[in-house]
Amino acid sequence: MTTPVIVMCNQKGGVGKTTTTFHLLDAVRRQRHDIRVLAVDLDPQGNLSTILSRGTRDSADACLADALSDRSSCSLIDVVNETIWPNVHLAPTSPDTEALAYVRDELVLAGAGRERRLRDALDPLLPAYDLVLMDCPPSLDLLTINALVAARSAVVVSQSALFSANGLVRLRRTIDAVKRSYNPELHLRGAIINLHERNTIAGREQLAEIASTIELVGDPIPKRVVLKDASEAQTSLLDWGTTDARNLAALYRNTAALLMGDPNNATS
């Protein structure tokens, strides 16, 4: 069975990609006790690495930038670490935000195969995992292109807001171009709507607009402070303890089941 490799993407910042990735990882790991998951942090800001890592990260530690750079002999397996959760591993970004940004610039000048560098690094690790989930930078640069070439599925994380809806058109063109030129296996799975304000007219209208152009994966995730607070505290929503947090955890559980193709764990 082919390991699902899913990329979480949107060229617009502030839509909650990292927070969504964090809570989905928690939901996936709870589906069954023996699941093995790899998270890949492709954002130079390294926020996913910060909230998933155990202990303090050091800029001297091997990181994803080393696995992607021609200037390093590190393979991806050399940089993968354990995280705050059992059976969830992480290919982290360095605390030095310039490290991965430098590799991004290196890729611009690289020759043939630059778009496949992550896929070539990731392929040998796939038999060891049941899922790979990648968090992308808020741009359509060569780091995001590498993620799309390595992925089997692309999931757009979007707000139900005007500029987020408009940005979907450009992102879909990029995904289509990557599919045609580099990765015919790539499938646009749909969109996870985050930070949704269902009590506003604009939120409802933009949700309908997005739903008319792309499949929605799971129910919209409402705008709640606890989502960011829990992730920054490195805490599962179920462990946060409030009724609101538990209800949000159920939304992520349903979305994760849909992404993993397990209808028995998804509710309508």
Q: Per the domain annotation, does 267 fall within a domain?
A: no
pLDDT value at residue 101: 87
Give exposure, 101-115, as e/b (b: 16+ Cβ within 10 Å). bbbbebbeeeeeebb
Number of folded domains that form the chain: 1
Phi, psi of 233 (to 5 degrees): -90, 5
C-alpha span between 15 and 20 (Å, rounded): 9
**DSSP secondary structure letter of residue 83:** B
Find the domain containing 67 and state its range: 5-261
DSSP lists the bridge partners of residue 38 as 89, 132
CATH of the domain at 192: 3.40.50.300
Secondary structure string (H, E, C) spanning 243-263: HHHHHHHHHHHHHHHHHCCCH
Series of mean pLDDT values for 10-residue runs along the chain (268 residues): 92 90 97 93 95 84 92 93 96 88 88 91 96 95 96 93 72 94 96 89 86 92 96 97 96 95 53
Strand ranges inside the chain, DSSP E: 5-9, 37-41, 81-82, 88-91, 131-135, 153-159, 187-194
Tokens of 224: 């709640």
pLDDT value at residue 164: 64
Q: Per the domain annotation, does 268 fall within a domain?
A: no
pLDDT value at residue 1: 67
Q: Per the domain annotation, does 44 fall within a domain?
A: yes
Tokens of 188: 């646009």
pLDDT value at residue 263: 45
Strand 131-135 to 37-41 pairing: parallel
- Least Cα distance to 103 among 47, 62, 57 occurs for 62
Q: Per the domain annotation, does 78 fall within a domain?
A: yes
Q: Per the domain annotation, does 83 fall within a domain?
A: yes
User: Residue type for 133, please?
Assistant: L
C-alpha span between 89 and 40 (Å, rounded): 9
pLDDT value at residue 162: 65
Query: If DSSP codes are grouped into helix, strand and coil, which group holds residue 247?
Result: helix
pLDDT value at residue 59: 72
Q: Per the domain annotation, does 51 fall within a domain?
A: yes
Q: Per the domain annotation, does 62 fall within a domain?
A: yes
Q: End-to-end distance of the chain based on CA atoms, in angstroms?
A: 27
pLDDT value at residue 91: 97
Contact between 9 and 237 (Cβ < 8 Å): no
In this prediction the pTM is: 0.93
Q: Per the domain annotation, does 107 fall within a domain?
A: yes
